[in-house]
Amino acid sequence: MRCYAQPDEWKSGVYLATFATGQGLREILFVVRPNTPGSPLLLTVAANTYYAYNNVGGKSFYNYISTDQVRSETLTADRPFQWDCMGNFYIWDQFFINWLEAEGYAVDYCVNGDHDTEPDLLSHYHANVRIGHDEYNSRAEIEQLQTFVRQGGNLLLFCGNSFWFEVELRCDQREIFCWKPHYHDDPTPENPESSILSYTDNLRQKTIGVFYTSYVHSKTTDPEVYLFPTTSEYGFYRVIVPEHWVFAGTGLQAGDELGRADSIVGVEADAADLEFVDGRPRYTGRDGVSSHYQILALGDAHIEGHPAYATVAINETEFKGTVFNAATIEWGHGLYRDDSIVARITRNVLNRLAR
């Protein structure tokens, strides 16, 4: 998937081209950027993560879906995606993008790599939106986002397991490199090397305000076998601060459930070390996450069999701009129904911070 500047008659967006092959109909996904910014909102499609999981030809960044169960540290972007999910588009991203278009929001689109090649990419926008599964990011992209928020831009994350691994885009973005010295394991004092952004100058914490990723309904390679709970007690948020403007018009009260019907907390969700004070959670800051973040909603999750959390949080006071983090991959699944509370919250955030 590449990003192309548009001819004047093309609208910026995510496009699918369908064509016939000897193996049946196939699709190509591509993103069209505007020649001139036409919206206050820029949505970055997580192309780096699409590449990371793509095993067409045999290799990915993951042992379990690579030939001989051995991953590669370098992948080519010049490959088609898996026909059944088109990267992550059919699984998660299409729901949010379709909803934005149906709601009439003016949106410009780009991919991760555009942040690498254009240092001033965000200078014309009020907000940058991330959706789905934005797991792989470069240092240049991260530093650009930090500058953007410090200078008054808004970073709005409706995604989970985001900003987890540091990558490099090489060969005019035709290759992506990710060094995983411990694969999925956290670094240790004996083996401190890591490409995990939480352990790399606190880049994850400083950019999006979370430290760890937890799991709900996470599948294994065996059908019908899950890593963590699939019971009815997981998959949703509980409201903590109902008086916040994010919940305006929802009628939610403290302790009310949010997103249970669509199991929006999963497959992976993000949070940080927290404690409870007078019954409300707050970040401790021990893992490098700023105390300026306010936790608005809380969900139960697990990490390697141990209890953990997912958090909806916002930082409105530390920078000129705002960081809002819904912190779950499946937030877009809560947009199936226009009258859902998830949709109302999403409108509140976009109408206040992306106009």
Q: How far is the C-alpha of 156 from the C-alpha of 135, rounded, in Å?
A: 15
**Which is more confidently placed, 86 or 299?**
299
| Residue 176 DSSP SS3 | strand
Q: What is the DSSP track for 43-57?
A: EEE-HHHHHHH--TT
Angle, CA 256 vertex, CA 254 and CA 262 arms, to 5°: 145
Average pLDDT, the chain: 92
Single-letter amino acid, residue 17: A
Q: How far is the C-alpha of 312 from the C-alpha of 328, rounded, in Å?
A: 9
Choose among 97, 120, 99: nearest CA to 109.
Answer: 97
pLDDT tens digit string along 113-158? 999 999 999 999 999 999 999 999 999 999 999 999 999 999 999 9
pLDDT tens digit string along 296-337? 999 999 998 789 999 999 999 999 999 999 999 999 999 987
Count Cβ atoms below 10 Å from residue 80 Cβ, excluding itself.
15
Mean pLDDT of 220-247: 83
- pTM of the predicted protein model: 0.94
